[in-house]
């Protein structure tokens, strides 16, 4: 029999999210299920969620068992091969830590690895958002749909209250996405409903412009840990352009308030989405954060991470027509055009 260490050494041959993770989005009365936040989820038509036997999840699991990469997992594999951050590497690292830290019983065979156990979850609160970020779009931002003048019937805000349809008794981590989570009433109900909070870690993607309610700060104290990932793609006027209509000074005030309000079970990270616009400025942005906010209130280091942009905004995506169409809209909204704010990026955009 293989030892647990040997199993974990070889386990990156597969993506553990297929066997230990779920991502659930809501659209009207339908739920959409996938293994992680990257794979486009397939529609669920039943009243409950059978994690062990869900058709799409079983298909993806079987692909990995056979040594095949599921079609929508190709992006992660390409990023992994290039040594770049990706969902597969991050989720595998998280789940391996469950085994090595004793948060879940150790895996000693491949049967243990392949056994479906719902240990982590990507929870999408819905698409209510107060920002229309350049690298986002109408799919995850209600404000973008207003700007693009979608028909009123398509501007309805999506919410997610699926938690009575899945067994999360073994859950160890939840990653909360939006929209903007702190605008969601359902998000508060969800984190109240999770059992065994003292065993569970919460992670958030937040745009850093909305304060959590006092109730949220209180509930966080019951959790094993809480990590807040602030999406700050740039600084100053460039930040305001990328994350319109956010204001840089107000965002910093919100960040500092949260920084001083969170408990010792919390940690802070800054995530910079590496897009065709801010790519030449990444070193400057990282240095600003490291110089101005190296640690939190408990002297823990604030991590600054760079992640590649999705939605055709990466420097290798070569989506010139898409970029120029979106930037033309933003130029009309903001007091400065992108060419003035991002002069180092002009060649990237016009001649990719």
Q: Does the pLDDT at position 4 exceed 60?
A: no
Instruction: Supply the mean pLDDT for the chain.
Output: 90
Determine whether 39 is exposed, middle or buried from the number of CB atoms within 10 Å of its CB (0-12, 13-18, 19+).
buried
pLDDT for 45: 54
Q: Which helix (H) or strand (E) holds 59?
A: helix 55-65
Q: How confident is the model at residue 28 (pLDDT cuts 50, 70, 90)?
A: low
pLDDT for 41: 67
pLDDT for 176: 94
């991002």: which residue's tokens?
Answer: 342
Q: Which tens digits make up the pLDDT trace of 260-280?
A: 999 999 999 999 999 999 999
Q: What are phi and psi of 5, to 5 degrees?
A: -65, -40
pLDDT for 46: 56
Rounded Cα distance, 142 and 157, in Å: 6
């986002």: which residue's tokens?
Answer: 136
Q: Does the pLDDT at position 19 exceed 80?
A: yes
């041959």: which residue's tokens?
Answer: 13
pLDDT for 56: 87
The lowest-confidence range among 121-125, 192-196, 312-316 is 312-316
pLDDT for 2: 44
70 Cβ partners below 8 Å, 6+ apart?
Answer: 18, 39, 59, 60, 63, 64
Q: How confident is the model at residue 303 (pLDDT cuts 50, 70, 90)?
A: very high
Q: Which tens digits make up the pLDDT trace of 112-129?
A: 999 999 999 999 999 999
User: Is the peptide bond between 198 and the residue preceding it cis, with omega within 30 degrees of 0?
Assistant: no
pLDDT for 25: 84
Over residues 339-350, the mean pLDDT reads: 95
Q: Which tens digits make up the pLDDT trace of 142-166?
A: 999 999 999 988 888 888 888 778 8
Over residues 159-178, the mean pLDDT reads: 88
Instruction: Kindly report whether the global pTM for this prediction surpasses the value 0.85.
Output: yes
Contact 46, 134 (CB under 8 A): no
Q: What angle do CA 124, 179, 333 make, to 5 degrees?
A: 160
The lowest-confidence range among 28-32, 160-164, 293-297 is 28-32
Q: How many residues does the chain have?
A: 352
The lowest-confidence range among 77-86, 195-204, 215-224 is 77-86
HSE-CB of 15 using CA atoms within 13 angstroms: 32
Q: Does the pLDDT at position 287 exceed 90?
A: yes
The lowest-confidence range among 1-5, 199-203, 223-227, 334-338 is 1-5
Over residues 130-147, the mean pLDDT reads: 92
Contact 221, 261 (CB under 8 A): no
Percent with pLDDT over 90 in the chain: 65
The lowest-confidence range among 43-52, 203-212, 229-238, 318-327 is 43-52
């Amino acid at each position: 029999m293989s030892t647990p260490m040997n199993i974990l050494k070889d386990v990156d041959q597969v993506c553990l999210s297929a066997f230990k993770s779920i991502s659930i989005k809501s659209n009207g009365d339908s739920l959409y299920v996938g293994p992680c936040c990257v794979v486009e989820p397939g529609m669920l038509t039943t009243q409950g969620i059978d994690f062990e036997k869900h058709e799409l999840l079983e298909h993806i699991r079987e692909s990995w068992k056979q040594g095949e990469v599921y079609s929508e997992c190709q992006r992660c594999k390409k990023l992994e091969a290039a040594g770049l951050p990706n969902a597969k590497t991050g989720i595998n690292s998280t789940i391996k830590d469950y085994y090595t830290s004793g948060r879940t019983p150790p895996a000693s065979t491949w049967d243990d690895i392949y056994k479906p156990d719902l240990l982590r979850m990507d929870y999408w609160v819905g698409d209510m958002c107060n920002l229309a970020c350049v690298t986002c779009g109408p799919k995850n931002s209600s404000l973008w749909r207003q700007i693009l003048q979608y028909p009123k019937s398509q501007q309805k805000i999506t919410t997610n209250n699926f938690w009575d349809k899945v067994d999360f008794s073994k859950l160890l981590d939840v990653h909360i996405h939006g929209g903007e989570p702190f605008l969601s009433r359902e998000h508060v109900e969800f984190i109240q409903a999770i059992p065994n909070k003292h065993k569970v870690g919460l992670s958030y993607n937040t745009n850093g412009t909305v304060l959590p309610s006092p109730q949220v700060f209180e509930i966080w104290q019951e959790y094993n840990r809480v990590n807040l990932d602030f999406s700050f793609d740039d600084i100053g006027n460039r930040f305001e352009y990328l994350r319109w209509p956010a204001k840089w000074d107000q965002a910093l005030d919100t960040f500092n308030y949260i920084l001083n309000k969170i408990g010792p079970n919390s940690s802070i990270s800054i995530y910079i989405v590496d897009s065709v616009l801010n790519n030449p400025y990444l070193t400057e942005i990282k240095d600003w954060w490291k110089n101005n906010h190296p640690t939190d209130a408990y002297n823990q280091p604030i991590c600054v991470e760079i992640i590649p942009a999705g939605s055709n905004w990466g420097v290798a995506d070569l989506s010139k027509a898409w970029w120029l169409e979106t930037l033309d809209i933003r130029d009309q909204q903001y007091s400065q055009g992108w060419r003035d704010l991002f002069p180092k990026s002009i060649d990237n955009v016009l001649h990719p």
